[in-house]
A and B are shown apart, each in its own frame.
Chain A
Amino acid sequence: MNAAGQLYANELELGAVLPVVLRHASRVQLFLYSAATWNPHRIHYDVDYARFEGHPDVIVHGPLQGAWLSQYVTEWAGPAGRMRSLQWQNRASALPEQDYEFHGRVTAIEGEFVTLEVWEQDRAGMVLMPGVAVVQLPLRSEG
């Protein structure tokens, strides 16, 4: 969340770093996310089955981490911001009951359109989910 209020595209600097946000999923949250999205895949709630598929534990849904990334970008952009695109790759599995960090930086600014490189990493710094977002922000008028 940007406590200072709305961001403006013409007040941002290339390379600006977004505040780091920590996310953490409990097993209960995984269950509720499965229910809310009508997702019966056993790797998200059945530990024995997840191990059978070669996972160390049940795993956090890729799209749930994508939704966290979406929230990371939209909260940064503020109420007048509009996220125009978001892409991500789920490269490694995230586990419940562990903290993950969301990071981002501004890589391009063209008028109202701001491109962000964003990613999720574990506490050791391994990137699980790299992504790119384009956000439309208002312009602060001069004077």
Chain B
Amino acid sequence: MGELLAAPVTVTVTAEGSQRYAQAVGDLNPIYFDEAAARAAGYRTLVVPPTYVAYALVQGRPLAGIGTDGLFGGEKSIRLEVARIMFGGEEWDFIAPVHVGDVVTGEARLTAIDQKDGSKGPFVRITREITYRTGDGEVVARTRQIGIAR
């Protein structure tokens, strides 16, 4: 537990990636698209949707690593023989806004694996915590993602 799941990833947040995400969600808040609107709302420049930071850091991977379910091979230490994996939820802390142009580093750690009894039988709950920092080391966001494996 607490083990790093992969090497930390660092990216520069782009308007293109943020705006594609916002459009795919259907969230057309002008603070994501219009610099003047972002400034009027008290931000220094365009900001990104709060949950976008998780996707800004997703790295493209070769197709050869994709399994039958379409997912890329399991991360180190959570390779499980299961029929299916579902997204169980998330717990975000938004400490400071993330702006377009920010350099953000994300670090994912495995924080819990426990077995639970649900209405549809037993399942395994995998919790990983990802911490996002800007270039100066300031923590801007943190999330705990819950994966459900059956």
- Hey, which bits of chain A sit against chain B, CB under 8 A? 23, 29, 32-33, 35-38, 40-43, 46, 49, 53-54, 61-64, 66-68, 70-71, 74-75, 79-80, 82-90, 129
Verify A40–B70 contact, CB threshold 8 A: yes
The one of B23, B51, B93 in contact with A63, judged by C-beta atoms closer than 8 angstroms, is: B51
Instruction: Please tell me if B2 contacts chain A, counting CB pairs below 8 Å.
Output: no
Verify A90–B87 contact, CB threshold 8 A: yes
Instruction: Please tell me if B83 contacts chain A, counting CB pairs below 8 Å.
Output: yes
Cross-chain pairs A/B with CB under 8 angstroms, 11 sampled: A32-B24, A35-B24, A37-B21, A37-B24, A41-B69, A42-B70, A53-B69, A85-B92, A86-B51, A87-B91, A90-B89
Bound together, the chains give a CA A37 to CA B92 distance in angstroms of 18
Known: A29-B26, A40-B72, A85-B93. A74 touches B87 (CB 8 A): no
Verify A62–B83 contact, CB threshold 8 A: no
Verify A87–B92 contact, CB threshold 8 A: yes
Contacts of A42 in B (CB 8 A): 69-70
Instruction: Give per-residue flags for B47-62: 1 if the beta carbon is below 8 A from chain A beta carbons, else 0.
Output: 0011100110011100
What bracket does the count of chain B residues touching chain A fall in? 35 or more
Verify A89–B70 contact, CB threshold 8 A: no
Cβ distance B55 to chain A, nearest Cβ, rounded Å: 5
Closest residue of chain A to B142 (Cβ to Cβ) is: A85
Verify B89–A67 contact, CB threshold 8 A: no
Bound together, the chains give a CA A63 to CA B53 distance in angstroms of 12
Give the contacts of B1-48 with A (CB-CB under 8 A).
17, 20-21, 23-27, 29, 31, 37, 40-42
Verify A88–B25 contact, CB threshold 8 A: no
Closest residue of chain B to A130 (Cβ to Cβ) is: B89
Verify B84–A53 contact, CB threshold 8 A: yes
Closest residue of chain B to A33 (Cβ to Cβ) is: B24
Verify B94–A82 contact, CB threshold 8 A: yes
- 10 A-B pairs with least C-beta separation: A62-B87, A42-B70, A79-B41, A89-B89, A87-B91, A36-B24, A71-B27, A33-B24, A67-B25, A32-B24
Verify A62–B55 contact, CB threshold 8 A: no
Bound together, the chains give a CA A90 to CA B27 distance in angstroms of 20
Known: A35-B24, A62-B86, A90-B88. A41 touches B70 (CB 8 A): yes
Verify B25–A64 contact, CB threshold 8 A: yes
Contacts of A85 in B (CB 8 A): 91-94
Bound together, the chains give a CA A68 to CA B87 distance in angstroms of 15
Cβ distance A69 to chain B, nearest Cβ, rounded Å: 9
Bound together, the chains give a CA A106 to CA B66 distance in angstroms of 43
Cβ distance B13 to chain A, nearest Cβ, rounded Å: 14
The one of A36, A43, A53, A129 in contact with B55, judged by C-beta atoms closer than 8 angstroms, is: A36
Verify B88–A84 contact, CB threshold 8 A: no
